[in-house]
Structure 1
Amino acid sequence: MKQVTLNSWFKSGAPGVWLSGGAVSIAVIMTIGLLAVIAVRGLGHFWPADLLQATYVVPGQAAVRVIGEEVQREEVPRERLKSAGLPVPAEGPEFMTRELLKIGNRDVFGSDFSWMVGEWLTDVSTPAELITLERREWGNFYGSLVSVKEQGKVVAEGAAALPELQQRLARVNDLYAQLYRLEKGDIGAINHGLEGLRLQTRKLELEHKLSDAAQADIAAQRAELDARYKALESQLIGLHEAFNRDSVVMRASNGQEVEVSLGKVVHAYQPNAMSVLDKLGFYFKKLWEFLSDDPREANTEGGIFPAIFGTVMMTLIMAVIVTPFGVLAAVYLREYARQGVLTRTIRIAVNNLAGVPAIVYGVFGLGFFVYVLGGSLDRLFFPEALPAPTFGTPGLMWASLTLALLAVPVVIVATEEGLARIPRAVREGSLALGATKAETLWKVVLPMASPAIMTGMILAVARAAGEVAPLMLVGVVKLAPSLPVDGNYPYLHLDQKIMHLGFHIYDVGFQSPNVEAARPLVYATALLLVLVIALLNLSAVAIRNHLREKYKALDN
C-alpha cells in the first residue's frame, strides 16, 4: 500500500514541483546572501572606524608605537608565522592572531597597511584626541594635532587647534569648490572656444577661404577669449594663494611631526570622540561623496560619479539605437519576409549571434566602427582636426553601437515572439475596416507587441550594462577628466571617452597599486552596478506592465 501511494505521488508531478521550488529558493537565498556580503563589505568602508593606539613589541626588536584602524583579524598557525620569517617563540599555542592595521601616513612609512601579530600588541587604547586626516593625496594621515599655521606662522595650538582647524578646513573646501567650478566651467569653456577657432582657421585654410576679413574676425574672437582668460587667470591665482595659505602640523605614531597643507585635506575628524549619531551623519556624508564626487588616488579614493554617469548614458544611448533596428528586423522577418529556407537561416544566424563572446564584438567594433567608420567620418567631416582623430578613436558613440550590436539579437527574438502571439483575426479585422497593412502594423500590431518589445529591452539592458571586455576596446578608460555632457556646443560629445562601473571594478580590483585600500571599493562599486542595472530594468518593467495592462483587452 505504501508503494502504491509513493508511485501515485511521483505520477502526480509533486516531486517536480518541490524540486523546482527548492531550486528557486536556493537560488534566491544565494543571491540575497551574495548581495548581503557585497553590501556589508562595501558599505562598511564608509563608517568612521575607531583609531587604535598600541605598542608593537616584536621579540628581539625595539618596541614601536602604532596608530591605525583594525581592518581584519584572523587566526593563523604558528608554523605559518615562522615560515614568514617572524621571530615566533618555539613554545606556545598552536594558533596565533594576525591583524591587518591601516596605519595610514603612506608618505611617512611607505605603506599604509601592515600585518601585525595580535599577541605582540600591548597597551592597546583608543584615545579621544587621535585625529584622522582624509587627504586628496597619499591617503589618510593618523596622529595627534600639534598646531595650525597660516602662511607658516602658528595661529593655534593645544586645545584651541582643533576648532581652528575645522573652521579653516570649511573655508578651504569652499575655495576648492570655487576653483573646481572656475577651472571646469569658465576656463573650460574658453579653452573649448579657442580650440574651435583653431579648427575653424585650419578648415578655412584647407578650403582656401582664409581671407583677410576671416582672419580679422577670428583674431577678434580670439582676443575676446584671451581677455576673458586673463581676467579669470588673476582670479584663479588669487584663489590658489588663498587655497594654499593654511597648513596643519601633525605628529605621527613614531613621533615625527609632519606639516600638511589644508588644501590637500578633505576631512579632519576624531573618530574615537564621535558619538553614534555623529558617526551616522558622517557615514551618510561619505556615502554621498562616493556617489557624487570624482575619483582620486588611482581610483582608490573619492567618488565614482563619472563612472555612474558613463554607465547610464551609454546604456540609454544603446537602448535608443538597438530598439528601432531590432524591431524593424523582427517586423520584416515576421510580417514581410517570405517564410522559407533563407528566413530560417537568418533566424538561426540571429540566435547564434546571441552566443558570440562579447570580446569578439569589441574587436569588431574597434576594427569597423572606430577605424573604418570613424576614420571615414574624420576624413569627410573633420579634416581640419587631422591627424588628431575626432571619431576615429574609441568613444561614447562606438561603445554604445558595439553594445547595441551585442544586444540586437535579444531584441529581435523577443519582438518576433511578441508579434507571433498577436491573433491573425486582429490583423484581418483591421484590414477589413479599410486600414492598409502599414497602418495595421503601426497602429494595431506594434502597440499590442510593445510589452514583448520592452521585454527584449530589459534583457538587452541586463546583458549590455554589465559588459566590460568589449568596452575596453571601444571607448571606456580608467579615468575620464570630463563628462561627455557639458555646456559647450554640441553639449553631448559622442566622441569623448567615458568611465564605466564594470571597468572601474576591474581596474580597482586588479590594476590598483594599493590592493588593500582598493578592496572595499570593489565591493561598493559592484553593489552600485547591480543597483544601477536593477533600477534600469525596473523602469523598463514598469513601462512594460503599463503597456500590458493597456492592451490586455485587445490581446484577449
Structure 2
Amino acid sequence: MNFRNWMKSGDPWIWMIGGALGISLIMVVGLLSLIAVRGFGHFWPAPLIETTVTDSDGQTVRLLGELVDSETLPAERVRESGLAVDPDATLVTRHLFKIGNREVNSRDFIWHLESRLGDWSYPEGAVMLERREWGNFYGFLERLERDGELLVEGEALWDELQNWIETTTELAGDIRRIENDDIGRINKQLEELRLIERGLEFNQVRGAELESAMAEVNARRAELNADYDVLRQQRNELQRESRRTVLIARDVNGESVSIPVVNIVMASQNNQLGLGGKLAFYGHRIKDFLTGFPREANTEGGIFPAIFGTVTMVLIMSVLVTPFGVLAAIYLREYARQGPVLKAIRVSVYNLAGVPSIVFGVFGLGFFVYLLGGSIDSMFFPERLPAPTYGTPGLFWASLTLALLTLPVVIVSTEEGLARIPRTIREGSLALGATKWETLWKVVVPLSAPAMMTGLILAVARAAGEVAPLMLVGVVKLAPSLPIDGEFPYIHLERKIMHLGFHIYDVGFQSPNVEAARPLVYATALTLVLLILILNLTAIAIRNRLREKYRSESD
C-alpha cells in the first residue's frame, strides 16, 4: 500500500486521534499526580533536622525544623540579593526549613545556603507540636506543670502529655459547644425578643396591650439572662481548668517556652516513628484537614466548612435549576410554535451559556440581593432593618445565581434528549388513546430522563468550580457558622458560606504566609476535584439506572 492509499484509508487519522487521547490522559493524570504529591504529601511526617547555621558575622546558631524544599540557583543571582557567596562558585544550593516557634522567631520559614549549614543530625528526642495559635513548635520536652507545680517529667512525660492533650481537647470542645450552641441559642432568642419590641413599635401598639406584651418580653429576657450567666460561669470554669496544665519545653538553642496544653492540637516525635506510626500520623492529619475548621488566616487547620458549603450550595442549585431547565426545554420542544421567535429564543439560550460568569455575579448582586432581597426585608423583616436579612449576599442567592448560570446547559441537554425520542413512540401512545399530556409525562419524559441527568452532571461540574460570581453573592473568607444546624428552620438560606474554589483563591493569593499556604492550595484543589468527581459519579450512576430501567421496560 502506497502512502496515498494509506492516507485515504483513514488509519493515520485514527492513530492521530488515539495519540491525542493518550497525550491528554497523560497530562490529566500527571496534573492530578502533581497536585496529590504536593498537596497530600504535606501531611506526611517529615524528619526533624538539627544543624548549625553560620551568619555573615561568623556567629553560629542552632536550627531545628523540617526540610521543605531545596533548589539550586546561579551564584550571580544570590550575590545580587546581598548574600556572600564563594567567588569561584557558579551554582549555589539553598534549603528551605520550617522552623516554627513563632514566639521566638519572626517567621515560620527561612532559606539557608548549604555552604553555611553544618552537619545534619536527626535527634530522637525532638518533638513537633501543632498548636492552635502561633504555628508549630519544634524543640524538646522538659516537664508538665499544673498550677505551677511539677506534674511529671522524664520518661513518663511523653505518654502523660498525650493523655493531657486528649483531655484538654475535650475541654476545648465543651467550651466551643457552650459558646457556639448554648450561648448562641440564647443570643438568638434575645435577638428575637428585641425584634418583638421593634415590631410593637412598628405596629404602634399602645396602652394595656403594650404593657402586657412588654411584661412578657422582660420576663423572658430575665430568664434568658439568668441562663446566660450560668453558661458563662460554666465556660469560665472550663477555661480556667483547661489553662491549669502547662507544658515546659525548650527550643534548640536552650530557651524555655511555656505552652498551655489546651493550645496543642497534636504532638509527634517524627524521628522515632516507624512505618506504622507514620501512616497513623498521616491519616490523622488528613482527617483533621478534611473535618477540621480553619485557623491562622486559613493557612492551618481544616477545610470542612468549605466542603460543607460547596456541597450544600451545589445541592440547592441542582434543586433549583432542574425543574426550571426541564420545564423550559419541554415547552420549547413540545409546545412552542416553531418560527423566528422560537429561533431567537434558542439563539439567546445558546449565547447565554457563553456569557462570562462574573456577569452573572453582578446580575445576582443587583437583582437577587439588592432588589429581591431588599424587597423581602421590607415586606417580611421590617423590624430587623437597617440590618439586612435577605438583602445581603447569602447561600440562597449564591445557589440561585449558579442555577441561572447553568440553566442553558440543562435546557440544551434536555431538548436534545427529547428530540432523540422516536416519533413512532409518541404516535403509538396517541394511537392507544393516551392524551398528549399523558404521552409527554408518562412516555417521553421518562425516556429522556438520562439526557436530563447529563445536563445536571454538566451543571454540577461547572457550578462546583465557579469562583468569580460567588465572591459577589454569598461566599466569604471565613463563615462564622454552617448553613445547616439543629436550630429551626435548620437550613439557613440567608447565611454566608465558605467555598472550596474561593478558599483556594484566598489561601493562594491573599495569604500572609505564602510558604505555609502553598501545600494547602494543592490539597484543597485536589479535594475540590475529588468532590466534583464524587458528585458527577453519583449523578452518572443515577442516569445509568434510569437508562437501564426504561430500556428494560421498553423491551
TM-score, normalised on structure 2?
Answer: 0.97
Q: Displacement of 1:86 after TM fit? A: 1.2
Q: Displacement of 1:433 after TM fit? A: 2.4
CA distance in 2, matches of 1:416, 1:103: 59
What letter matches 1:336 in structure 2? Answer: Y
CA distance in 1, matches of 2:253, 2:390: 54
- The CA RMSD measured in Å over matched residues stands at 1.4
1:25-59 per-position Cα deviation (integer Å, ceiling 9, x unaligned): 11111001100010011111111211100011245
> In the TM superposition, what are the counterparts of 1:90-101 in structure 2 within 5 Å?
90-91=87-88, 93-101=89-97
> In the TM superposition, what are the counterparts of 1:66-465 in structure 2 within 5 Å?
66-91=63-88, 93-209=89-205, 211-465=210-464
Matched, 1:37 2:34: yes
What letter matches 2:22 in structure 1? Answer: S
Q: Is this contact kept in 2: 1:326–1:411, CA < 8 A? A: yes
Q: Displacement of 1:525 after TM fit? A: 0.2
> In the TM superposition, what are the counterparts of 1:507-526 in structure 2 within 5 Å?
507-526=506-525
Q: Displacement of 1:500 after TM fit? A: 0.1
Paired residue for 1:12, among 9, 12, 15?
9
Q: Displacement of 1:292 after TM fit? A: 0.6
Q: Is this contact kept in 2: 1:192–1:488, CA < 8 A? A: no
Match of 1:66, SS state, is strand
1:475-509 per-position Cα deviation (integer Å, ceiling 9, x unaligned): 00000011011111111100000000000000000
CA distance in 1, matches of 2:554, 2:383: 56
What letter matches 2:423 in structure 1? Answer: R
Task: Choose 414-423 or 436-445, whichever is displaced more.
Answer: 436-445
Q: Displacement of 1:224 after TM fit? A: 2.7
Q: Displacement of 1:394 after TM fit? A: 0.1
Match of 1:154, SS state, is strand
What letter matches 1:37 in structure 2? Answer: L
Q: Displacement of 1:284 after TM fit? A: 0.4
> In the TM superposition, what are the counterparts of 1:526-541 in structure 2 within 5 Å?
526-541=525-540
Q: Is this contact kept in 2: 1:448–1:555, CA < 8 A? A: no
Q: Displacement of 1:552 after TM fit? A: 2.1
Match of 1:393, SS state, is coil
Match of 1:384, SS state, is helix
Q: Displacement of 1:554 after TM fit? A: 6.3
1:290-316 per-position Cα deviation (integer Å, ceiling 9, x unaligned): 111110100011110000000000000
Match of 1:27, SS state, is helix
1:436-480 per-position Cα deviation (integer Å, ceiling 9, x unaligned): 222221111111110000000001011111000000000000000
CA distance in 2, matches of 1:177, 1:301: 18
TM-score, normalised on structure 1?
Answer: 0.97
CA distance in 2, matches of 1:422, 1:553: 16
1:120-156 per-position Cα deviation (integer Å, ceiling 9, x unaligned): 2113101011111111011101111122221223323
What letter matches 1:122 in structure 2? Answer: G
Using the aligned pairs only, state the percent identity.
Answer: 59
1:367-388 per-position Cα deviation (integer Å, ceiling 9, x unaligned): 0000000000000011010000
CA distance in 2, matches of 1:486, 1:24: 46
Q: Which residue of 1 aligns with 2:23?
A: 26
Match of 2:52, SS state, is strand
Check 1:16–1:554 CA distance in 2 against 1; reply closer, same or farther (3 A cut). Answer: farther
Q: Is this contact kept in 2: 1:451–1:548, CA < 8 A? A: yes
Q: Is this contact kept in 2: 1:58–1:87, CA < 8 A? A: no
Match of 1:123, SS state, is coil
Q: Displacement of 1:71 after TM fit? A: 0.3
Q: Which residue of 2 aligns with 1:57?
A: 54
Match of 2:221, SS state, is helix
What letter matches 2:191 in structure 1? Answer: E
Match of 2:103, SS state, is helix
CA distance in 2, matches of 1:518, 1:471: 22
Match of 2:70, SS state, is strand
Q: Is this contact kept in 2: 1:137–1:264, CA < 8 A? A: yes
CA distance in 1, matches of 2:97, 2:20: 41
CA distance in 1, matches of 2:551, 2:287: 42
Q: Is this contact kept in 2: 1:448–1:554, CA < 8 A? A: no
What letter matches 1:189 in structure 2? Answer: R
CA distance in 2, matches of 1:73, 1:511: 25
Q: Displacement of 1:166 after TM fit? A: 2.2
CA distance in 2, matches of 1:487, 1:305: 17
CA distance in 1, matches of 2:160, 2:552: 70
Task: Choose 461-470 or 138-147, whichever is displaced more.
Answer: 138-147
Match of 1:211, SS state, is helix
What letter matches 1:95 in structure 2? Answer: L
> In the TM superposition, what are the counterparts of 1:492-503 in structure 2 within 5 Å?
492-503=491-502
CA distance in 2, matches of 1:215, 1:442: 56
Q: Displacement of 1:216 after TM fit? A: 2.4
CA distance in 2, matches of 1:342, 1:380: 37
Match of 1:391, SS state, is coil
1:51-99 per-position Cα deviation (integer Å, ceiling 9, x unaligned): 10001124542011111100001112222221221111223x4222110
Q: Is this contact kept in 2: 1:358–1:470, CA < 8 A? A: yes
CA distance in 1, matches of 2:54, 2:232: 54
Structure 1 residue runs without a partner (length 5+): none
CA distance in 2, matches of 1:53, 1:475: 47
Structure 2 residue runs without a partner (length 5+): none
In the alignment of these two chains, the number of paired residues is 552
Task: Choose 275-284 or 403-412, whichever is displaced more.
Answer: 275-284
Match of 2:448, SS state, is helix
Check 1:555–1:11 CA distance in 2 against 1; reply closer, same or farther (3 A cut). Answer: farther
